[in-house]
Structure 1
Amino acid sequence: MASDAAAPDVRVVGGWASPFVMRVCVALRLKGVAYEFLQEELVKKIDLLLASNPVHKKMPVLLHGGRPVCESLVILQYVDKAFAGAGPPTPTMVRPRRPPYRFWAEYTDAKVRQIAGHDRRRQGRGGGAGRRGAAAEQVAAALGQLQEAFAGCSEGRHFFAGDDVGFLDIVLGSYVGWFRAAEKITGQPVLDETRTPRLAAWVARFCAHEAVGDVMPDAGRLVEFGEALRAALAASASRP
């Protein structure tokens, strides 16, 4: 997204398939901040990522004027503060420090990421029908809890933050592509309109938002990515 509001040298280091990278892109787009996207390699980490996050060596990394900012939840809050005057006012990170919002963001990452198929170690090992069935039950329980959280946080409005996409919307919404990929693999609904109708309606609104549509990964591509990643990790593990 192009914008004159961007500060010099705003770059995002990461991979298109990562929900954590998607969060950063959505936040910048909500602020109307132009950025350069630097694609991470499938297995081997690029030098810029290793130099920018030498301790954890994980994406995403936001580079703002050469200064690295790491960890997706930290980056979301940084973007809101650093670009407070960029573009129209948004409620993107208005309430991340209020207990309910921070709790549910951390709950989402603790409960949902292991089921959304994005843990590389689990992808490398694969999984049988029993593991997938157990994961499906776990995600159903987690999404049931998040539907109740949506009712309380939204106060009857369209998003967790109210009338527009906000902090918690970005955190949970970043997993939607992987939910859809899981549906393709298992043939079972993840966001079920019968079991979680409010969240299903919220997903449709979230994905239709102009800041989200272009960076929401396609489910078919994610399935292919998962297969390629498993093959690459297996090949890497077999090397002496």
Structure 2
Amino acid sequence: MHNSKMAEELKLLGAWASPFSHRIELALKLKGIQYQYIEEDLSNKSPLLLQSNPVHKKIPVLIHNGKPIAESLVILEYIDETWKNNPLLPENPYDRAIARFWGKFVDEKILQIALKFKLAKEKEKEQIIQELGEQLQFLEKELEGKEFFGGESIGYVDVVAYFIVNWLQVHQEVRQIVFISEEKFPVLCKWMGKLHEIDVVNGCLPPKDKHYAYIRAQIEAAKSAIK
């Protein structure tokens, strides 16, 4: 069964700075699946991307034997259901539902609040940091007393949350603003440190200097757009 799976054609359309792409790369690597990575220029999207995801026209897209799957949370579930080794989601239906809940929470709450910060005026920023802190506290509590969100090993919520928290930490360093401190979020910070030490996880992160430069350029562009 595994041999026929290996012979299958798997392509991942992604972008080097996208936490959503990195989720899919990590899931594939954790399961030891061979795939072809195709870097997309998001300012000049390829016909393959537009044809594969005509609804959102966004990355990531996983193309499995010519069939495209879009949206990172959907792709993660597809990977988990197609390749059963090293499962990301728990077997128990209730536990699976809870994992899906936290995955959606990361994208719909934490990420959406963080994105508001980019466009916020100075006086709104303090409020957004406070709001973000309140939501991060929920994650902190959920992780308390556990190695990973998935329990003993990296699971679905770890894969989803890691790259968003890392993205926040990178922004925090570049912008010199505190979103996540060890003082306020000791459990999350310890968990991030543990994941940083895992080679396969670290290997999915973009090069630090390049990433910092990219975010600085984005901040500058946003400033000149506001003027």
C-alpha distance after superposition, 1:49-90 (max 9, x if no partner): 101011111111001111101111111011112122xxxx42
Q: How does 1:80-229 map to 2 (within 5 A)?
A: 80-84=80-84, 89-94=85-90, 98-117=96-115, 126-151=119-144, 156-229=145-218
Specify whether residues 10 and 148 from structure 1 end up closer, same or farther in structure 2 by C-alpha distance, changes over 3 A only: same
Q: Is the 8 A contact 1:49 1:57 kept in 2?
A: yes
C-alpha distance after superposition, 1:113-149 (max 9, x if no partner): 13445x8xx75xx444334333322221111111111
Q: TM-score, normalised by structure 2?
A: 0.85
Q: State the distance in 2 between where 1:6 and 1:213 align.
A: 24
Specify whether residues 180 and 227 from structure 1 end up closer, same or farther in structure 2 by C-alpha distance, changes over 3 A only: same
Q: State the distance in 1 between where 2:212 and 2:123 align.
A: 20
Q: State the distance in 1 between where 2:129 and 2:83 align.
A: 39
Give the fraction of aligned pairs with identical amino acids, expressed as a percent: 32
Q: How does 1:24-39 map to 2 (within 5 A)?
A: 24-39=24-39
C-alpha distance after superposition, 1:23-66 (max 9, x if no partner): 11110000001211111114221111101011111111001111
C-alpha distance after superposition, 1:143-176 (max 9, x if no partner): 111111112xxxx331011111100001111213
How many correspondences in the alignment?
221
| Secondary structure class of the residue paired with 1:113 | helix
Q: How does 1:66-77 map to 2 (within 5 A)?
A: 66-77=66-77
Aligned residue for 2:50? Answer: 50
Moved more, 224-233 or 61-70: 224-233
Q: State the distance in 2 between where 1:77 and 1:64 align.
A: 14
Question: For structure 2, which runs of at least 5 residues remain unmatched after alignment?
Answer: none
Specify whether residues 198 and 230 from structure 1 end up closer, same or farther in structure 2 by C-alpha distance, changes over 3 A only: closer
Task: Report whether the alignment pairs 1:61 with 2:54.
Answer: no
Specify whether residues 231 and 193 from structure 1 end up closer, same or farther in structure 2 by C-alpha distance, changes over 3 A only: closer
Q: State the distance in 2 between where 1:219 and 1:142 align.
A: 26
After TM superposition, which residue ranges in structure 1, 4 or more long, deviate above 6 angstroms? 230-235
Q: State the distance in 1 between where 2:203 and 2:12 align.
A: 16
Q: TM-score, normalised by structure 1?
A: 0.80
Letter in 1 for 2:106: T
